[in-house]
Structure 1
Amino acid sequence: MSIPLSEILAKKIRILIQEQALAVGDRLPSERKLCELLNSSRAPIREALRILGSQGLLQTRHGGGSYIKKDYAEWRAEFMTPVNALLQSDVYYRYDVLEARRALESSCAWFAALRATPKDKDAIERSFDHLIKLQEQNLVFEAAKADAQFHLAIAQASQNAVMLQVMRGLVNLLFSTVHENRRIIFQFHDRRAVEKLTQQHHALMESILMGDAKNAKSHAERHLDYVQHSIRKVEEDDARRQRLERLKVQLHN
């Protein structure tokens, strides 16, 4: 069953809202401009705006255009509320996030290698360079955010509207888990871990730039496997140290 054109256009308009960083009260481009931007006629554009209005994202004023009614980040966050609640109740749900990322991002990498435009490739390279610069300055929090943006640039390059929307919906969750993952991996300031992640990101980027879909998918999978393995090792080492400390206390008592 094919997806109605109006629903496809509604998704594209949501992407446009985020890309242009439109806030509550801002006006969308006119219907005529949207037709040009999305290569569509007015009837399906109007239906797409009606859909977004029914979802509470837009408010259309007769003769006055369409305006942002609800902050996009807030609207998107509602979708992720159940997952965020799980993560807050049990940090080990991060492994479910990593599994989901592995499945999604390996596919994004595959399609990015096949479909990335010169503009997409430039965005990926700039994201990578920015990440490296922040790592060299030892700005862990900022580097975690740049790490997430690097992966989002790859999702953008996949040219798959559904995967891109899912990735954009996960961006806040992605950032929080990337930040936590990197904090755990780097808590002992292990430069080898930093270098390993850098090598993995570079190999992933190069595969996409060269159009090598098979290797891009493989590098994405190995990268997230390494992250998950590293986190488990740190947690196991930490638990082992805590057991030894408890044993020392018992022996001294």
Structure 2
Amino acid sequence: MNPLVTSTSTSHSGIVVASIRRMISDGELHPGDRLPIEPKLAEQLGVSRGSLREGVRALSSMGVLETRQGSGTFVTDLDAELLLAPVELLVDLQRSSGAQQVHSVRRVLETDAAGRAAVLIDEEQLEEAARILDRSEVAIEADIIDHEVVMEHDIAFHAVIGRASGNDILAALISALSSRTVRGRLWRAISDEAADANTLREHREILDAIRAGDPDAARIRMAAHLLAVESFLDSTPPPRSEN
């Protein structure tokens, strides 16, 4: 294959990606809108139909577009969690040295989310968070603790706070990072028999601060909680096979 042709095709597909993204950001295209038919859009963007298809495929892999058989290509609902999926890949590819940085970023984001939640959380979300912690307590008090079940409750609790922050992007980032730091947190729970109980206590303190509408206390509680996880993993890293 001629490398010049390949390079030109790639360059033109990049034009497609940039142009459609601009059309969305400028309000020319909205979530749910159908793109113009292929010949018309290719002419509009000044690219070949092959380059247009490559660009559409790229945007589809990013969660920006979706092609429906027999109907055409549409702008997705631009769900933040879907668009931030590449962040999960980035986290997955981190080795042990990068994992510590991921935990630090998570702490920064969730500390801010806790403060926002203290101001914005509604009664339904408060009740949901409380129910999650009650289920977590039952799991922790079982004769044999299923640490994975406890971790599911942990993730769910943090997700509620993320959503209660009132910022969809922040909530999506928290979801991506929280679910991708499970291995290290499970290692802590398995290695330290008091970890699950301490985590539950810290979660209840966070929720109490949020329920009281105290953003400063909520931030402090959340930061201390996540810093404890970081400190443990820094001093007692998981085995290499766990990273």
Kept after mapping to 2: 8 A contact 1:184/1:234: no
Q: Which has the larger radius of gyration?
A: 2
Instruction: State whether structure 2 residue 117 is matched by structure 1 residue 112.
Output: yes
Instruction: State whether structure 2 residue 133 is matched by structure 1 residue 128.
Output: yes
Q: The residue matched to 2:30 in structure 1 has which SS?
A: helix
Q: The residue matched to 2:93 in structure 1 has which SS?
A: helix
TM-score, normalization: structure 1? 0.62
Q: The residue matched to 1:159 in structure 2 has which SS?
A: coil
Q: How many pairs align?
A: 190
Instruction: State whether structure 2 residue 181 is matched by structure 1 residue 174.
Output: no
Residues 44-53 or 122-131, more deviating: 44-53
2:90 aligned residue: 82
Residues 49-58 or 122-131, more deviating: 49-58
Q: How big is each residue's C-alpha offset from its partner over 1:35-82, in whole Å with a ceiling of 9 and x where there is no partner?
A: xxxxxxxxx79612249996424346898997979xx98765334323
Give the whole-Å Cα distance in 2 for the aligned partners of 1:141 and 1:153.
19
* 1:83–1:181 distance in 2 versus 1, CA, 3 Å: closer
| Correspondent of 1:165 among 168, 172, 177 | 172
| Correspondent of 2:30 among 18, 24, 47 | 47
Counterpart of 2:102, as a letter, is V
Give the whole-Å Cα distance in 2 for the aligned partners of 1:157 and 1:141.
24
Q: CA deviation at 1:103?
A: 0.4
1:203 aligned residue: 205
| Correspondent of 1:223 among 217, 222, 225 | 225
Kept after mapping to 2: 8 A contact 1:59/1:68: no
Give the whole-Å Cα distance in 1 for the aligned partners of 2:234 and 2:190.
14
Q: CA deviation at 1:154?
A: 0.3
Q: CA deviation at 1:149?
A: 1.3
Where do residues 10-21 of structure 1 align in structure 2 (5 Å cutoff)?
none
Give the whole-Å Cα distance in 2 for the aligned partners of 1:101 and 1:110.
14
Q: CA deviation at 1:130?
A: 2.4
Give the whole-Å Cα distance in 1 for the aligned partners of 2:173 and 2:96.
22
1:154 aligned residue: 161
Q: CA deviation at 1:145?
A: 2.0
Q: CA deviation at 1:124?
A: 1.5
Q: How big is each residue's C-alpha offset from its partner over 1:104-138, in whole Å with a ceiling of 9 and x where there is no partner?
A: 00000000000001122122212222222222231
Q: The residue matched to 1:220 in structure 2 has which SS?
A: helix
Kept after mapping to 1: 8 A contact 2:115/2:216: yes
Q: CA deviation at 1:186?
A: 2.7
Kept after mapping to 2: 8 A contact 1:95/1:228: yes
TM-score, normalization: structure 2? 0.64
Q: How big is each residue's C-alpha offset from its partner over 1:151-201, in whole Å with a ceiling of 9 and x where there is no partner?
A: 011000111122123224x1xx42241x323332233452x3322212111
Kept after mapping to 2: 8 A contact 1:60/1:67: no
Q: The residue matched to 2:216 in structure 1 has which SS?
A: helix
Kept after mapping to 2: 8 A contact 1:113/1:207: yes
* 1:136–1:64 distance in 2 versus 1, CA, 3 Å: farther
Give the fraction of aligned pairs with identical amino acids, expressed as a percent.
18
Give the whole-Å Cα distance in 2 for the aligned partners of 1:151 and 1:166.
12
* 1:220–1:51 distance in 2 versus 1, CA, 3 Å: farther
Instruction: Write out the 4+ residue segments of structure 1 that deviate beyond 4 Å after TM superposition.
Output: 51-54, 60-69, 72-76
* 1:45–1:114 distance in 2 versus 1, CA, 3 Å: farther
Give the whole-Å Cα distance in 2 for the aligned partners of 1:45 and 1:216.
41
Kept after mapping to 1: 8 A contact 2:34/2:73: no
Kept after mapping to 2: 8 A contact 1:131/1:143: yes
